[in-house]
Amino acid sequence: MVNKEKLFQVAEVKLSYSTKIKSSDRLKVASGYEPYDIFKSVWDEGTIELIEEFKIILLNRSNRVLGNLNLASGGISSCVIDPKLIFVSAIKSGASAVILAHNHPSTNTKPSDQDRTLTRKIKEGGKLLDIEVLDHIIMTSEGYLSFADEGLM
């Protein structure tokens, strides 16, 4: 039997997104190299060859940047990604699309089987939520690979 006092003791969940940037002033992503430039500007150059990290850019329906998020940090050769955190962030910010990025400290831009599987999994999850996954970029200190540009999306 349920204790009636505990029945109404339920945690409240609030979702909010706050910005001081007008929509018209937000950077618009219109071409393939722009996401790389954005990620490069927020990546710590001192750790790009040391620690694997995973970041996302959140976009509105007009492909204007709502924000970026450092989602995970790991070791030299991997980091654990929880796709739920990508979609929680997208939903909370009202994003219509996301761009994924992670670095390879080895400076090898070739996607691993795990990279391809994760990208496919996140893209499928996005379809269910009407959140488009536009690209997945592998960053290195010497350049990048765009899944979209390479036809891997």
- pLDDT bin (cut points 50, 70, 90) of residue 126 is very high
pTM of the model: 0.86
With contact defined as beta carbons under 8 Å apart, do 51 and 77 qualify?
A: no
What pLDDT does residue 56 have?
A: 97
With contact defined as beta carbons under 8 Å apart, do 126 and 137 qualify?
A: no
- pLDDT bin (cut points 50, 70, 90) of residue 14 is low
- CA 130, 134, 140 angle in degrees (round to 5)? 140
- 109: buried, middle or exposed (CB in 10 Å: 19+, 13-18, 0-12)? middle
Going from the C-alpha of 151 to that of each of 21, 30, 140, the distances in angstroms are 33, 17, 20
Segment 61-96, tens digit of pLDDT: 999 999 999 999 999 989 999 999 999 999 999 999
Residue 15 DSSP one-character state: -
Domains of the chain: 25-146 (3.40.140.10)
Record the tokens describing residue 45, joined without a space.
């150059």
Segment 25-75, tens digit of pLDDT: 888 887 778 999 999 999 999 999 999 999 999 999 999 999 999 999 999
Record the tokens describing residue 148, joined without a space.
């979209």
Q: In the chain, pLDDT over 70 holds for what percent of residues?
A: 91
- Displacement of CA 142 from its chain's centroid (Å): 21
- pLDDT bin (cut points 50, 70, 90) of residue 15 is low
- Residue 128, pLDDT above cutoff 90: yes
